[in-house]
Structure 1
Amino acid sequence: MHAWPASEVPALPGKGRDLRIHDTATGGRITLDPGPVARIYVCGITPYDATHMGHAATYNAFDLVQRVWLDTKRQVHYVQNVTDVDDPLLERAVRDGQDWTELAERETALFREDMTALRMLPPQHYIGAVEAIPGIVPLVERLRDAGAAYDLDGDVYFSVDTDPHFGEVSGLDAEAMRLLSAERGGDPERPGKKNPLDPMLWMAARPGEPSWGGASLGAGRPGWHIECVAIALDHLGMGFDIQGGGSDLAFPHHEMGASHAQALTGEHPFAKAYVHAGMVGLDGEKMSKSRGNLVFVSAVRRDGVDPAAIRLALLSRHYRSDWEWTDQVLADAVERLARWRAAVSRPDGPSADALVEEVREALADDLDSPTALAAVDRWAALQGAEGGTDEGAPGLVSRTVDALLGVAL
């Protein structure tokens, strides 16, 4: 599966700072020192609907991670999946009378268009669950052979009790896990499971649903968590730098994935940091497909809004915050974009050397994009009030905003 085209990232003078990021597993900030190649895995979409602002906010956060790392003169090895076969996708296809593969391909193509418009840097490897199945099957077989998985009426489940580190990612107690499991695709009430929290690794073929040959597993399709584990291990290996996604993935998805990988390899941790973006709401509720309260990136673009303004709206809130999308948030971003463009359109201006370092420091400090925006606001205000004599300043500001914030002025 191919990703989307990459926009050029301008080089800035000097060198950026190492990233200090909030790690869900420890509950505090850690400083990451990835070495010459930084490795990041971000969980992708289930393509049964268009990209909404909640998606965009999450991918914007991890785009900032890439930009901070690139500014430290590192290479970035970024992997993202597409869950192109799963219950929600199949249910939507049945509801709308569509072929599930056509639905997945159409929505994935629209996602690519949205990411391109928003100037999100693409992953080096963009892998669909379906194409990963040949690598998933042997992992499930290995877990079963090692006694970390078991059969139940043809399905195969992972035994969470086989991983001594289970629970370390989310830090939740068993009852909270059970409740979230029921809400987020698990089946804690199914009779016969060794532990109510045990997640499915391989679902035996169901009538009317797609299935693939699973060698000794029989025909079926993979569970949600093992999909990402197979892709991450194949392309990044154990101990990669960041496992990322929305905060609703901390449990069960990232918790279960870490346990799968640790049981497979005998190594710990699966990732050095677990980084989670907050939820975006609308009208007092989390923006989600199940609630139907979505603001689609493509729809806002069709209304004639500059994608750079959409990106500034996302950047105006800290990535870990839960926040509300409103017309005013977007209007403020449109106005800010106009001010910045006017400021950099002049032939000279006040020195921008300090601004570059302010933006670098803000983003290195747990991706503090609101503080970075405020720094650019101050330079633009000074430019408007006093101007300056530095002929290189407007160009340096433009390159800084482009390289570190992904906004083209």
Structure 2
Amino acid sequence: MSDALKDLSDQDVSIWLDDISRERLRSGNLQQLVDTKNVVGVTSNPTIFQKALEKGDAYDEQARDLALRKTDVDEAVRYLMAFDIRWACDVLKPVFDKTGGKDGRVSIEVDPRLAHDTERTTAEAKALWWLVDRPNVMIKIPATEEGLPSITAATAAGISVNVTLIFGLDRYDAVMAAYLDGLEQARGNGVDLQTIRSVASFFVSRVDTEIDKQLDKIGSDEAKALRGKAALANARLAYERYEKVFTSERWKDLESAGANVQRPLWASTGVKDPAYDDTMYVVDLVAQNTVNTMPEATLDAVADHGKIGGDTITGTYDEARTVIDDLNALGVSYDEVIHTLEDEGVQKFEDSYAQLADSVKGQLEAAAK
């Protein structure tokens, strides 16, 4: 077992794999990662499923059965994804039991085409919760304005939610408020709050990708000095806000009723710029009670040469604020960047879902011949 990954786990950072495929499941690779690399959770998204479906023959038999039943494309997508998610949930069930439900979690995302439709997102979340039917599943709901009421409604129904596509601090505040609203409603509905878990997926690397692009256009020494600093600063300030909310009197009242905190999850932690250390979004975002979901390449990099030196977030907040202030002073608008990233994030997942649906349609048509 890698010392770096063990050290990360010892710092109360849960290591989740940002990938899933039926081939990974049937080969035993996921179990191997649990056994050897401290992986205690799995996240998925339409892009991941679309790539998995196009490789090998792992989905052929189920696609043939669905074609024989004349299942429509959207339902077939749900069935194919749910099969993998259930399987992964079963692999991780011992972790779920050992950690009292904190980890051993597997996430499946609602149809991203519904990201701006509150009622349909809520209905889809309930449908996926029922379809997967595992206590350790998490339903991913996007942190759009329309997604916020769905986070509350799903939580109130006792569904464990992974809130995805969070880029900005103000939206993160709204996500935490939506979770607390849901817990309060769940308590009123007689739901056992101890059974509800949630994470808030705060995206990291995409912030640097967008801001570095603007800094390169400016080209000054001041601009060059800020490259690669925005994403870490943004995530660290998010953790400061997490600390504030989950020490509040409102939270303490819910905690006394058995509620669990909504942990910050660092998403999009694969480094996009080869000039940067390929472990930076892991080793520089270490703090208690967090999750880091990594693509396998990042997981391997941390295992190979990551250096975990303890908490790298707490106490960095003033420095982080200075980075954001310096960016604004150069004309890089934080608010505009966050707005752009949210729009692009939703669109990318919509495009991936469309490609996934096309792939499934092709499989169904081929199987029907």
TM-score, normalised via structure 1 length: 0.26
Name the structure with the higher helix share. 2
